[in-house]
Amino acid sequence: MPELRLATFNCENLMMRCDFRRAGIPDARQQLTDVDTATVAAQVDAVFNVLSEDDRTLTAQALAATEADVCALQEVENLVTLTAFDTRYVARWAGSAFGGRVLHEGNDTRGIDVGLLSRVPVVFQRSHARRTYGSLEVMPPRGQSVNDLAFRRDCLEVDIAVKGRALTLFVCHFKSMHGGRLRTRDVRRAEAQAVRRIIGERFADPAGEEWIILGDFNDYREVDGVALDDSGLDPLLDDGFAVDLASQAIADPLDRWTHHFAEDDIYGALDHMFLSPRLAVLNPAPDIRIVRAGSPYHAARYAGPRFPGIGWMEPKASDHCPMVATLKFEGRAFPA
């Protein structure tokens, strides 16, 4: 049975905003999905110094510490940035670049997208950024119409292959809590319903197939073991449609957090891996870990070692911690 070490990580504003014309890259904005061309790829380093050296070094260290085969990423500006980060920073700390890179332009007004780094073959990829509530038959949140886009960023659908067997991933980054968790909950609930519809389109029997929804969902179903009944993630979990891997595999509820909100001193599990029921059965006791060595010191609940250079608030790897798990799967024969 194939085995995969899979991570998810919100890199926090992995951007390289600059004047591409001054760097000698004509029309780079039109080439963001074609970074393997000699014109762009050869000049990536020329514009990469706009990224924070300290923060991005720590981000790469945290990602390398997962030792993942595949990592789903959130808050990446574009494919050029992802390529430069992989080849210049991740390669330094992990020993080599991932090499496989996927990113499609999404809907976020700040230009932050979801993406994927992979050491195993990516055999299928599809963006759902342009799907509307109407096309997915999802009731829009109040104030929105059926013609509005269902995702604040994207739901990136990717198939990866290990030993000739394919597994499907759905990489997400749901609406933030900016404006208040309860006031924004219905948008995340609609996004969760949209993801569920997409999985239903892909698989006639979702419960009997193997797939994973992962990413930053900007919501939680519990805080320190106290269950909440107002989560925007309920459509994915309430009736057993998917299984929350961390809740199943990490016994101590105080050890499930991936994010510390300093203002209210809340340690929340915003980053998740949701497994299909079939895949959960195949992984009753998976090896799962949350890498917190890149967390700033204000996240005082973590008392373990930190990477050199971490500060009280900054520098840091991210405001999120990467989560990584080793999973077994049967998958589908590839090519099908």
Q: For the segment 258-314, what is each residue's pLDDT rounded down to a tens digit?
A: 999 988 899 999 999 999 999 999 999 999 999 999 999 999 999 999 999 999 999
The CATH number linked to 146 is 3.60.10.10
| Separation CA 16–CA 77 (nearest Å) | 7
Residue written as token pair 């805080």 = 223
Quick one: pLDDT at residue 321?
98
Residue 31 maps to a domain? no
CA 33 to chain CA centroid, Å, is 19
Residues in the chain, total: 336
Is the Cβ–Cβ distance between 246 and 273 less than 8 Å?
Answer: yes
Could you tell me what percent of the chain has a pLDDT over 70? 89
User: What is the token pair recorded at 146?
Assistant: 């059926």
pLDDT band at 334 (very low <50, low <70, confident <90, very high): confident
Percentage with pLDDT > 90 across the chain: 82
Please check whether residue 301 lies inside any domain of the structure.
yes
Residue 29 lies in a domain: no
Which of 71-85, 129-143, 217-231, 247-261 is least confident?
217-231
Is the pLDDT assigned to residue 320 strictly greater than 90?
A: yes
For residue 189, pLDDT beyond 70: yes
Residue 24 pLDDT:
56
Provide the pLDDT for residue 52.
73
Closest CA to 256 of 234, 229, 287, 288: 288
Segment 14-72, tens digit of pLDDT: 998 654 454 555 554 444 445 555 555 555 554 444 557 889 999 999 999 999 999 99
User: Tokens 């900054």 label which residue?
Assistant: 314
Strand bridging mode 3-14 / 70-76: parallel
Alpha carbons 127 and 114: distance in angstroms, whole number: 10
**Tokens representing 105?**
């332009």
Q: Judging by beta carbons within 10 Å of its beta carbon (0-12, 13-18, 19+), is residue 216 exposed, middle or buried?
A: buried
Q: Residue 16 CB: number of other CB atoms within 10 A?
A: 18
Considering the domain boundaries, does residue 26 fall inside one? no
- What is the residue range of 115's domain? 3-16+51-333
Residue 48: the pLDDT is 46
Question: How would you classify the pairing of strands 211-216 and 165-173?
Answer: parallel
Q: Taking 60 as the threshold, does the pLDDT of residue 146 lie above it?
A: yes
pLDDT band for position 225 (50/70/90)? confident
Nearest one of 125, 131, 124, 115 to 80, comparing CA atoms: 115
Rounded CA separation 148/293 (Å): 40
Supply the pLDDT for residue 33.
Answer: 47
Looking at every residue in the chain, the average pLDDT score rounds to 91
Q: Report yes or no on 22 lying in a domain.
A: no
Strand-pair partners of 224: none
Lowest mean pLDDT among 35-44, 131-140, 246-255: 35-44
36 assigned to some structural domain: no
State residue 73's pLDDT score: 98
- What's the domain count of the chain? 1
Write down the pLDDT at residue 38. Answer: 53
**Cis bond upstream, residue 315 (ω within 30):** yes
In a domain, 294, yes or no: yes
Q: Looking at the domain assignment, is residue 33 inside a domain?
A: no
